[in-house]
Structure 1
């Protein structure tokens, strides 16, 4: 909960902590709390339904992109969300790497590129060598708490501060007003990418005994850049870190690729120009390039695209509280490393991920529970443990003779994920039954009306109706629920 404490103040819904200390999102309308994985699963399900409808085919497998600086817990949660949505997640791929795939696909020349990815909530920088179908990530860095939402927040705070000064009312405590401020701030930010100033009008933002209150103001691009100056400065450090880790200088970079909608902000582009000394490459659509790269990777995994080799790296160092670093950051994936170490107390060893000097400041991925070890004082047992990070950047561990169980690694247990998967399957089965019943009813009622009023309907109209009825009946045998739905909708038209 501490990780999202600051962000939870900026949203118009309630973020709460459950009995296990995990983050939940409260939905008072139906009296239920949702895990982040469940919300993500609903978004994925919507995307899958849209893709299935467009392709006229069932989608069951997916390549999902994540910010490059996501840790193990966040990657595992993303994979769980895919499973809850009913998907077989073939690969988790880093967003800057996906962007490089889209950019470098079918390019033959060897280039060293820097991908600057500033999205809605996260910021990533990756340095890659691209050429002849080989995409090798040299280093990656980032900030999972920096994105377009933070730029919006500066405008929200500015509006709320001015309103409090003028009216004595704190709009940040009003959830409805906060939502309207956030939407207006994002709109203004987008407009300032092409205009030097924008008008912000929020009528009836709140009311007092004296009557309704409104916000009517102008925000200039210069003022916006002033409000966000420290955020712009924060963009520099990950760029410098990634180049240092890759052992390169700015002169070694051939292209700088901008990814993410927030890179449309002129001040962000200017930071990139000044920092790298290069004009950013704008030949790719920053909103679509990551999805296109994921499609290329899906093509590789499906066997439709050949002669592409992707070499990813782990963004964060991995180690334990007893022996320190085991797998350093920017190690090429997949990777495996064995270590002999001992217990630090009560038979448990904590697995940590991050770059902080002290163990307590890093992300704890969980604790090892080692079964089959005779009771012994602290420091006596010698344990041979193999640490693995797969191509998705997800960690696992195995013991030479002992059974290792990692607890506390994710917010959802395997049982909870299975329960959510089952609930999703049950819901889909119920929906399928309801749709088929509805289709039966529609077919029966339509055929009945044709018999009663057939003489009054034009022959060509009857032919169209009968064709649509036949289409629904055909879908009963092999069609998906969505296809039957679409056929019913077509008949009603």
Structure 2
């Protein structure tokens, strides 16, 4: 049997962990990093780059470098929330045939599930390389406030990656699991989770290994990407005021601005002021234009204050749903990279009237909790019980476009509920069941999950037939609905496969495409790592040569210059044969330089 891993599939970065004997640990990726950027790039030859390699070339290939795709998963193209997201993306978001938000790279389009699946496959392979065994199963985390469509889409992404998704678990719940195991904490904890693209808050009661989620709330369009965008907007406005040039529609400039914004944001967590310098960001008739700005933490706080304030209401809602107030919360656990922001700390202290804790790395704690949940599912950990909740209410549309709520928000899962309905016209032979998710009493204001018809109902006056509708939510938070006519026993059921999801045939097609590309992708990644290694060798040689080159003869110096020039040309042209040759040549001249240093320049032919 293959191994089970825990995956925090983040908007900005991913983290993979594995639990052995109930002790979870983070697994490094192939480059040795403990987190992997959630970035996929497509080169001019349509090769796929993933993670750090993809992120490093984003500035030179902005239109074909896909990032923050988690914000698109399970979403419609015409969603109002996506308008502000699309504005800051360097790549193109397009409408799929069914109205979903997909992405475009070169002339091809990809669903967010496929992009996420590419990332998950890379994480799976990295874990296999580290563990030395096949990985077949995974527990994948999602924001607590993800609806059914987004959860289904995440599960599809796992399938595309070749993983059996054993459980979809809420990110704050996973963090609380890891924290509770590490600290042995008993009491009530509020998990304040603000990552790259989403914000969640969950209230849990932890007692002797029982983790009971009492409530959850959040915002699926609030996170570090929005903090970055606030800085980007500020930079664009400052630059336009100074030069009259609007950078908003320059894709390459936007990518450079994004990298600078992310860097400035991180630095302002530790310092009071940071410098932003982007030479040659644009040009006009008078020549090249450079962006040089100083951003103070006080100014940054004003830029993001409205965003930070948006976390207040979900926190109050979560406490209200749990039937508590701030003094009833024993600990506040900060999760997600954006939780390092000083203004966020101030906001949390103000809301909960106590100091938050960040005892575990906020970038890793969710992945650790997911791995621990994997151990629980395999029976390796027997003294921990997890009781989670559904984030949004579920119901059906009734006469007049109203909603009858079947399962209320924050109901414990797994759960089921049945209700008897009837017909509204005489001799009605078909009953349509429209399944909705959301908190509005009006059907039009909720998320439509699916529709199905119960047909061939025996003729009868209206109000006489008895139609029993049953809702079931499994441990992943995924919904199944059935309807049965109690007289004829005719039944119809549906496992919710939302219109924003992929069909089984589409998933199979994507899996086949991934397998076809696997060998080519692996070869390309190895080649890029080889080029990176050669670049490092050249850099070390040049640094040593600059300091000790005077020990060499003129002929030896010329030889080094020639080989370095050949190697740099090979890298620029991606000439595989010449790169292999350059490895040997750079190694040889590096050895000659090392020997010259050792002998202080007095080495002779006889030596």
Q: TM-score surpassing 0.5?
A: yes
Equivalent pairs counted in the alignment come to 434
Q: Distance in 1 between matches of 2:104 and 2:207?
A: 48
The residue that corresponds to 2:257 in the other structure is: 181
Q: CA deviation at 1:267?
A: 0.4
The residue that corresponds to 1:366 in the other structure is: 450
* Distance 1:250-1:180 versus aligned 2 partners, 3 A rule: same
Q: CA deviation at 1:171?
A: 0.7
The residue that corresponds to 2:289 in the other structure is: 213
Q: Distance in 2 between matches of 1:156 and 1:15?
A: 20
The residue that corresponds to 2:37 in the other structure is: none
* Distance 1:268-1:343 versus aligned 2 partners, 3 A rule: farther
SS of the residue corresponding to residue 153 of structure 1 reads: helix
Q: Which runs of 5+ in 2 are unaligned?
A: 1-76, 485-489, 525-583, 588-607
* Distance 1:130-1:209 versus aligned 2 partners, 3 A rule: same
Q: CA deviation at 1:286?
A: 0.4
CA offsets, 1:59-112, max 9 Å, x none? 111000000000000000000000011000000000000000000016555210
Q: Distance in 1 between matches of 2:368 and 2:251?
A: 37
* Distance 1:200-1:47 versus aligned 2 partners, 3 A rule: same
Q: Which runs of 5+ in 1 are unaligned?
A: 436-491
Instruction: Please state if 1:339 is matched with 2:411.
Output: no
Q: Please tell me whether the aligned partners of residues 351 and 366 of structure 1 are also in contact (alpha carbons under 8 angstroms).
A: yes
Q: Distance in 2 between matches of 1:206 and 1:434?
A: 36
* Distance 1:128-1:210 versus aligned 2 partners, 3 A rule: same
Q: CA deviation at 1:342?
A: 4.6
Q: Distance in 1 between matches of 2:501 and 2:165?
A: 19
Q: CA deviation at 1:162?
A: 1.5
The residue that corresponds to 1:304 in the other structure is: 380
Q: Distance in 1 between matches of 2:523 and 2:174?
A: 40
Q: Distance in 1 between matches of 2:87 and 2:229?
A: 11
- Mean CA deviation greater in 32-41 or 293-302: 293-302
Q: Distance in 1 between matches of 2:198 and 2:283?
A: 36
SS of the residue corresponding to residue 321 of structure 1 reads: strand
CA offsets, 1:249-306, max 9 Å, x none? 1111110000000000000001101111111112111010000101110111122212
Q: Please tell me whether the aligned partners of residues 108 and 131 of structure 1 are also in contact (alpha carbons under 8 angstroms).
A: no
Q: 1:130 aligns with which of 206, 210, 213?
A: 206
Q: Distance in 2 between matches of 1:138 and 1:164?
A: 49
Q: Please tell me whether the aligned partners of residues 255 and 280 of structure 1 are also in contact (alpha carbons under 8 angstroms).
A: yes
Instruction: Please state if 1:243 is matched with 2:327.
Output: no
Q: CA deviation at 1:369?
A: 2.9
| Aligned pairs for 1:72-221 within 5 A | 72-105=148-181, 108-221=184-297
Q: 1:225 aligns with which of 285, 301, 307?
A: 301
Q: Please tell me whether the aligned partners of residues 367 and 407 of structure 1 are also in contact (alpha carbons under 8 angstroms).
A: no
Q: Please tell me whether the aligned partners of residues 215 and 410 of structure 2 are also in contact (alpha carbons under 8 angstroms).
A: yes
- Mean CA deviation greater in 32-41 or 344-353: 344-353
- Mean CA deviation greater in 158-167 or 368-377: 368-377
Q: Distance in 1 between matches of 2:516 and 2:396?
A: 41
| Aligned pairs for 1:228-307 within 5 A | 228-307=304-383
* Distance 1:379-1:217 versus aligned 2 partners, 3 A rule: farther
Q: CA deviation at 1:426?
A: 5.2
| Aligned pairs for 1:400-415 within 5 A | 400=484, 401-405=490-494, 408-415=498-505
CA offsets, 1:158-215, max 9 Å, x none? 1111212222221111111111111111110000000000000011111122211110
* Distance 1:397-1:403 versus aligned 2 partners, 3 A rule: same
Q: 2:86 aligns with which of 8, 25, 33?
A: 8
Q: Please tell me whether the aligned partners of residues 152 and 501 of structure 2 are also in contact (alpha carbons under 8 angstroms).
A: no
SS of the residue corresponding to residue 251 of structure 1 reads: helix
CA offsets, 1:406-464, max 9 Å, x none? 56443312221232234334555x779999xxxxxxxxxxxxxxxxxxxxxxxxxxxxx
Q: Distance in 1 between matches of 2:196 and 2:512?
A: 32
* Distance 1:341-1:169 versus aligned 2 partners, 3 A rule: farther
Q: Please tell me whether the aligned partners of residues 438 and 446 of structure 2 are also in contact (alpha carbons under 8 angstroms).
A: yes
* Distance 1:185-1:431 versus aligned 2 partners, 3 A rule: closer
Q: Distance in 2 between matches of 1:358 and 1:146?
A: 25
The residue that corresponds to 1:468 in the other structure is: none
Q: Distance in 1 between matches of 2:340 and 2:455?
A: 53
Q: Distance in 2 between matches of 1:274 and 1:295?
A: 33
**CA RMSD of the aligned region, Å?**
2.4
* Distance 1:275-1:375 versus aligned 2 partners, 3 A rule: same
The residue that corresponds to 1:483 in the other structure is: none
Q: Please tell me whether the aligned partners of residues 104 and 131 of structure 1 are also in contact (alpha carbons under 8 angstroms).
A: no
Q: CA deviation at 1:349?
A: 2.7
- Mean CA deviation greater in 341-350 or 214-223: 341-350
Q: Please tell me whether the aligned partners of residues 79 and 89 of structure 1 are also in contact (alpha carbons under 8 angstroms).
A: yes
SS of the residue corresponding to residue 228 of structure 1 reads: helix
The residue that corresponds to 1:41 in the other structure is: 117
Q: Please tell me whether the aligned partners of residues 117 and 124 of structure 1 are also in contact (alpha carbons under 8 angstroms).
A: yes
SS of the residue corresponding to residue 312 of structure 1 reads: strand
Q: Please tell me whether the aligned partners of residues 98 and 499 of structure 2 are also in contact (alpha carbons under 8 angstroms).
A: no
Q: CA deviation at 1:399?
A: 2.5
